[in-house]
Homo-oligomer: A and B are copies of this chain.
């Protein structure tokens, strides 16, 4: 009498709610730092993906964030004006404005990533070996199938790009 019916009748309440609570706390550490700088989560996202993908095109950033160029423009302008991000003309296509973090921008991006990494590290420290890979597979499997390959490629490519700077 444990299972109510075939084909998984009962919603997966635990994971639904844990995703809510985990994500809430996961973004809270950066939020506090950003607040002191008069920035919000939107700035964080932009700074993060520019830091991870130096020279990214505006159009590609819009694809990743899935927001309109007007929404992006607002926060991007502030990051540019305050010297966290710079633009350079595309070498081949001079219409493009390729985005790069400045040293100041990189420092902030890394500081925020460090906070989230610390939280993840504390979480994994409590768990079995292989927990990192298990979490990776679960989260990747939650992504829309059409988007999944692109996301995984983006992550892998960004890793190569940043290691090339060492």
Interface residues of A (CB under 8 A from B): 4, 8, 11-26, 28, 45, 48, 52, 66, 110, 113-114, 116-117, 119-124, 126-128, 131-132, 134-144, 147, 151, 154-155, 158-159, 166
A144 partner residues in chain B, CB cutoff 8 A: 25, 28
Q: Which of A4, A28, A126, A143 has the most CB of B within 10 A?
A: A143
Give 22 CB contacts A-B under 8 Å: A8-B121, A12-B117, A12-B120, A12-B121, A12-B132, A13-B155, A15-B120, A15-B132, A15-B135, A16-B113, A16-B116, A16-B120, A17-B52, A18-B139, A18-B151, A19-B26, A25-B147, A120-B142, A131-B134, A131-B138, A134-B134, A135-B135
**Nearest CB of chain B from residue A148's CB, rounded to whole Å:** 9
B132 touches A135 (CB 8 A): no
